[in-house]
Amino acid sequence: MDRIITRISTGFITSLVFLTGLSAQDDASFRLGLKAAPNFAWMRSDSKDLTSDGNRTGITYGLLGDFRLNEAATYFFSTGILLNNIGGKFKADATYEIDGVSTVVKSEQELKLRYVELPLALKLRTKTSGTFNFYGQFGVSTAFNVRARTDATTTSTANGITTTTSVDDEDVISDIALFKMALVVGAGVEYSLSSGPTLFGGVTFNNAFTNALDGDAKKLLPNDKKSKLFADYLEISLGVFL
C-alpha cells in the first residue's frame, strides 16, 4: 500500500510542477500553494456502544493547486495533496461470550490517524482593487489511511473478576477503513504581496461521510461489526500561493 500511495503522491506532485511551468505564461490560470493547518479533531459516534470522549490536536500540511474557471478569476477548482494527522478520544462498551462466559469490556482510547488527502472543492473569491480578497469553498475530500495507532486502557469483567490492561501507541491499521470521504466547507482571506505571492488564512470544517472503522475491527472493538466512528476536524488553514 505504501508503494501505491508513493506513486499517487509522486504523480500528483509532478503534475502540479508541470502546471506551475504553464502558469508562468498566465499567472491567473493556475496557482500552486503551500499549506500548513493545525487542526482540532474528534471521533463522532453513530453507535450506542461508542461515545466520543474528547478531541485531539494535529496538523495538516502539503501542496495546493487552484485552477481558474473564469476570466474574472473569481471561481476556482481547488485541489491538492495533503498529509493529514487527525483522531480523537472515545469510549467503547461491549459484551460478548467466550466458552459460554459473559464478558463485559469497557475501554477508553485515543485514536491517532494519518491520511493522504486529496481535496476537491469549488472556491469562490472576491476580486477587489485592494490587496485583500475573501473566499469561500465547498466540496469533498477523498483520503487514504496510511497509519493508525491507539493509546487504550481496557477493563474486562467476567465471573466477577476484573482485569485491566493498557497499551501505548498500538498499531491498529487493520481496524481502520482504507478510504475516507468527507464534506469540506471553508472560508478565509487572501493578502496579495507586491512581490507576487499571495498569503492566505482561513477556517475549514471537514465532516466525514464514511465510517472510519473497518467491517471487522477486532482490536478496537472485540465483537461488534456494526459500530460506526466518523473522523471529523476543524482546521485553521495558513499558507501561501506562489
* Residue 4: pLDDT over 80: no
| Backbone angle region of 126, left / alpha / beta, with phi > 0 → left and psi within -120 to 50 → alpha | beta
Could you write out the three-class secondary structure of 34-64? Answer: EEEEEEEEEEEECCCCEEECCCEEEEEEEEE
* Residue 114: pLDDT over 60: yes
Choice among 45-54, 96-105, 117-126, 175-184 with the minimum mean pLDDT: 96-105
Average pLDDT over residues 165-169: 92
How far is 239 from 127, CA to CA, in rounded Å? Answer: 19
Residue-level pLDDT at 95? 79
Which of the two residues, 136 and 221, has the higher pLDDT score?
A: 136
What are the angstrom distances between the C-alpha of 22 and each of 9, 12, 30, 84, 192?
20, 15, 8, 28, 21
Choice among 6-15, 145-154, 164-173 with the minimum mean pLDDT: 6-15
What are the respective helix, strand and coil percentages of the chain, to the nearest 5? Answer: 10, 65, 25
Choice among 34-38, 71-75, 145-149, 214-218 with the minimum mean pLDDT: 214-218
* Residue 35: pLDDT over 70: yes
Residues 6+ apart with CB under 8 A from 4: none
Q: What is the pLDDT of residues 172-226, one digit of tens each?
A: 999 999 999 999 999 999 999 988 899 999 999 999 999 999 877 777 776 556 7
What are the angstrom distances between the C-alpha of 98 and each of 104, 108, 133, 162, 207?
11, 22, 62, 15, 38
How far is 19 from 165, CA to CA, in rounded Å? Answer: 53
Rounded to two decimals, what is the model's pTM? 0.85
Q: What is the pLDDT of residues 45-89, one digit of tens each?
A: 887 888 899 999 999 999 999 999 999 899 999 999 999 999 999
Residue-level pLDDT at 22? 44
Average pLDDT over residues 118-132: 94
Which of the two residues, 147 and 195, has the higher pLDDT score?
A: 147
